[in-house]
Structure 1
C-alpha cells in the first residue's frame, strides 16, 4: 500500500513541480551564498594585503639600513604585524617566535601563505627589497578574527538558505495549487461526460491558453465519439431490423400454414419461401462477419499480379444474366493490372456491379471502364438510373444504409452491406471508392495502386 502511495506521489505533476521549485530555489540560494562567502573571503584577503603593503613601503623606504633592526625591531614586536627578514632563504631576524611554513621559505615565487600555529591563524605576504636582490621581507598578521567572523557568517548563510528554501517551497506549493485549478476544473467537466452526455462540450475560453488546445482536442474527440455512438446505435437498430424482418416473415407464414391442414403443394411453396428468407438471413450474417474481419485485418490475404479484364469479363457475364429480366447489358472497355488479393478485389468489383444492376433503369447498359493513371488503376462502374441525392452521398458506404428510408424487403433488395464491404476491401489495398451521381448517371470509381502489399 505504501509503495502505491509512493508511486502516486512520484507520478503527481503537482508534487514534481513543488519539488522542482524547491530544488531550483535551493540551488540558486546555495550558489548565491557561495558567491557571497567567496567575495567576503577575497575582500579580507585584499584588505590584509593592502595593509601589509603600506607597512612594507615604510620599511622599503628605509632601505634596510644597518641599524634598522635596532631602531625599528621593537616597533614590530609591540604591534600586531609580524616581521621576518629573509636572506638567501634563511631567517636573519623575526619579531616573534612563530615558525613560517618550510615550503613558503624555500619558494620565493610564492607571494602569500595562510597557516596555523599554536591555535592561531596567520596570513603572511612576501615582499622583495629594492637594491637587495637576495633579501625578502615577510609581513604577517593574525587573522583569527577573520576566521571567527567567516565561520559565524557561514552558519548564518546555511540556516538562511535552508529557511528561505522552505519558504520558497511553501510559496511554490501555493502557486502550483492555484496554477493547477484549471486542470481540476477540466477534470470536473470531463467527469460529467457519459454515454448519455456525449453532447457536452467545454468552452476553451474558460481555460488558460496552455490548456485551450487540449480542450479543443477533447471537444473534437467527444464529437467523434458521439458520431461513433450514434452510428453504433443505428447499426444495432439496422441489425435488429435486418434479422427481424425475415424471421417475422417465416414466423407469420408458418403460423398461417398451421391454422389448418394444407396440401403438399402449399407446404412446398411455404418451404421454398422459408428457404429464400433463410438464404437472405445467412447472406446478411456472412456479410457482417466478412466486413468485421476486413475492418480489423483478420482476413487471410494473398498478393499476386491480377489482369482485370478477364476477371471483370467473368463477372459481367454473371451479372448480365442476373439483370436479364430488366434487359440490362454490361459493356467493358480498357485494361489494367493490379497487385493484390484476387478474390477480395473480385468481390469488391462484383458488389459494385450488383449495385449497378439493382439500381439501373430497365433496358439500359452498364459501362465498366478500366484505366491506368500514373501508378493507380481505376475501375469505373457507371449505370443510368435514379439520381442519388447529394445529401445521401456521404453516407452511401455506411453499413445497412439505403437511400430508400422505407427499407422495404424486396426480392431485388440487398442488405445494405455490399458497398461497405467494397470500400473496406479498397482500403485494405491502400485504395478507395468514390461515387458521383448527376442527371440520372451514377458512377462508382474503385482506385487501387498498381503495386501494393495487402495489409
Structure 2
C-alpha cells in the first residue's frame, strides 16, 4: 500500500532536494573550475621556468665556468620555494640538482617531451614536467626535470570539500524550513477551499468560494467547484420541488379515496352505492397509476435507461393518425386541425407518438373555441422540425423555460390539474426528444404559442425510394 503524505511535506521535500541538487552541481562545478585554474597556473609556472632554463643553457658563452652556470640556474630555479629541479647531461651526469631531499622516480626522468605528470610521495603531492634541452658545448641534448610541490593545493581542496559538506547540510535544513513555510503559505487558499467544502450542507449550497484572494493556478479549480455547487444546488432544488409536487399531486386522489370510503362506511348502503364508490375509487387509482408510470418513465430517462428503437417514422403519417384520434374532441370545440409538409425520422414510433400526442392534447386544452391548430413539418439536410402552433393566451417569458419541468404549470390557479393532467406531459415529451438526440422548445408571442421539436434526419421514406 502506497504511503500517503501531506502536500506540504511533499513540497517541502521537493524544495529541499531541488536546493541540494543545485548546490551539489554548483559545488562540483566550482571544485572542477578551481582545480583547472590551479593546474593552469602550475603549468604556466613550469613552462616559464622551463623556457628560462633553456635560454640560459643554450646561450652560455665559451669559457663560462660550470659553477657560474649553476649560480644562474640556482638564481632562476631556487627563487621558487615549492619548485624542485634537476638537469642531466646526455651521458647522465648531474649538471644541476635542487631536489630538496625528494628523489624523483626514474620513470619520470624518461617521460615524453614536455609531458605534465603528477606524483605523490607519502603526504606530499607534486606536479612536474620532463623535457629535452640543448646544452651549449654538449653534442646531445640533456634532460631537465621541474617539479612543483602542490600539497597546499590538495589541502585547500580538502578543506573546501569539508566546508562544502557542512554548508550543504545547513542549506538542506534551512531550505527544508523555508520550504515548509512557503508551502504552508502557498497552500493556504487550498485550506480555505477545504473549510468551505467541509462546511457545505443541503442548506448552504448557495454559498460560493470567492475568486479574488485565490491564485491564478487555483482559479480554474475554484470555478469548477463553484460550477459543481451550482449544479448540485439546482439538482437539489429540483429534487425538493419534485418531491413536494409528488406529495401535492398524490394528496388529492388519496384524499378523495379516503373521503369516499369514509362516507360510504358511515352507514349501511345498498349494493349500487358500494358499486358507485368502487368505480369512483377506480378512477382515482387509475389516475395515480398513470402518474406513477409517468414518474418511473422520467426517472428511467434521467438515468439514461430509455433506449429507443431505430425504425423509419414518417412524421406526416404519424400526425395524421393523431388527428384522427383527436378529431372528435376538436369538432366538439370547433377547432380545425391542419397539417403541412412531411419528413422522416429514425426512432421509436411509440415514444415519438406519445411526445407529439402530449403537445397536441396540451394545444387542444388551451386553444379557444373556433380557432385552429396547425402542424408544420420541415426537413433540411441536418434535421426534421415539427412545429405545433395554436392561438391562445401568450405565455409569460418567465414561464417559457420552465413549462417542461415536472408538475410545473404557468397558471397557479390550476395547480391541481384535471383528472388526466398531472403536469408531466411536457416533461415526458422533453425526455423522449432528448433520448432521440433531438431538442424541443417553445415560443409564445401575440396570442400565438408554438412548440418546436427538432429530430436528426432519418433514412429516406420507403415510398420515395420506390418512386426513384
1:386-428, Cα deviation, whole Å (9 max, x unpaired): 2222211110100111112134545465111111111112112
Farther off after superposition, 257-266 or 338-347: 257-266
What is the SS of the residue equivalent to 1:415?
coil
Deviation at 1:87, TM superposition (A): 8.9
Deviation at 1:222, TM superposition (A): 2.6
- Name structure 1 gaps, 5 residues minimum: none
Q: 2:47 aligns with which of 39, 50, 53?
A: 53
The CA distance in 2 between the partners of 1:404 and 1:175, in whole Å, is: 60
The CA distance in 2 between the partners of 1:448 and 1:133, in whole Å, is: 109
Deviation at 1:287, TM superposition (A): 0.7
Residue 177 of structure 2 aligns with which residue?
A: 170
Residue 8 of structure 1 pairs with residue 13 of structure 2: no
Q: 2:444 aligns with which of 434, 437, 444?
A: 437
Farther off after superposition, 364-373 or 130-139: 130-139
Residue 348 of structure 2 aligns with which residue?
A: 341
Deviation at 1:83, TM superposition (A): 3.4
Residue 18 of structure 1 aligns with which residue?
A: 12
1:278-315, Cα deviation, whole Å (9 max, x unpaired): 11111111111111112211124321222212222112
Q: 1:82 aligns with which of 81, 84, 95?
A: 84
Residue 256 of structure 1 aligns with which residue?
A: 263
Residue 397 of structure 2 aligns with which residue?
A: 390
Residue 420 of structure 1 aligns with which residue?
A: 427
Residue 276 of structure 1 aligns with which residue?
A: 283
Residue 305 of structure 1 pairs with residue 309 of structure 2: no
Number of corresponding residues: 443
| Counterpart contact for 1:384–1:441, Cα < 8 Å | yes
Q: 2:455 aligns with which of 443, 448, 451?
A: 448
Structure with higher Rg: it is 2
Deviation at 1:18, TM superposition (A): 0.7
Deviation at 1:336, TM superposition (A): 0.6
1:8-38, Cα deviation, whole Å (9 max, x unpaired): 31xx221221111101111111122112212
Please show how residues 227-238 of structure 1 align to structure 2 within 5 Å. Answer: 227-238=234-245
Residue 224 of structure 1 aligns with which residue?
A: 231
Please show how residues 330-409 of structure 1 align to structure 2 within 5 Å. Answer: 330-409=337-416
1:217-247, Cα deviation, whole Å (9 max, x unpaired): 4334333322222211110010111112111
| Counterpart contact for 2:111–2:130, Cα < 8 Å | no
Residue 152 of structure 2 aligns with which residue?
A: 145
Alpha-carbon distance change, 237 to 22 in structure 1, aligned in 2, over 3 angstroms: same
Deviation at 1:445, TM superposition (A): 0.5
Alpha-carbon distance change, 335 to 174 in structure 1, aligned in 2, over 3 angstroms: same
The CA distance in 2 between the partners of 1:278 and 1:206, in whole Å, is: 58
Residue 36 of structure 1 pairs with residue 30 of structure 2: yes
- Name structure 2 gaps, 5 residues minimum: 460-468
The CA distance in 2 between the partners of 1:178 and 1:68, in whole Å, is: 83
**In angstroms, what is the RMSD of aligned CA positions?**
3.0
Compute the TM-score of the two structures, normalised by the length of structure 2: 0.85
1:48-87, Cα deviation, whole Å (9 max, x unpaired): 1222223223211123469897643984699643335589
The CA distance in 2 between the partners of 1:349 and 1:441, in whole Å, is: 18
What is the SS of the residue equivalent to 1:421?
helix
The CA distance in 1 between the partners of 2:202 and 2:65, in whole Å, is: 104
Compute the TM-score of the two structures, normalised by the length of structure 1: 0.87
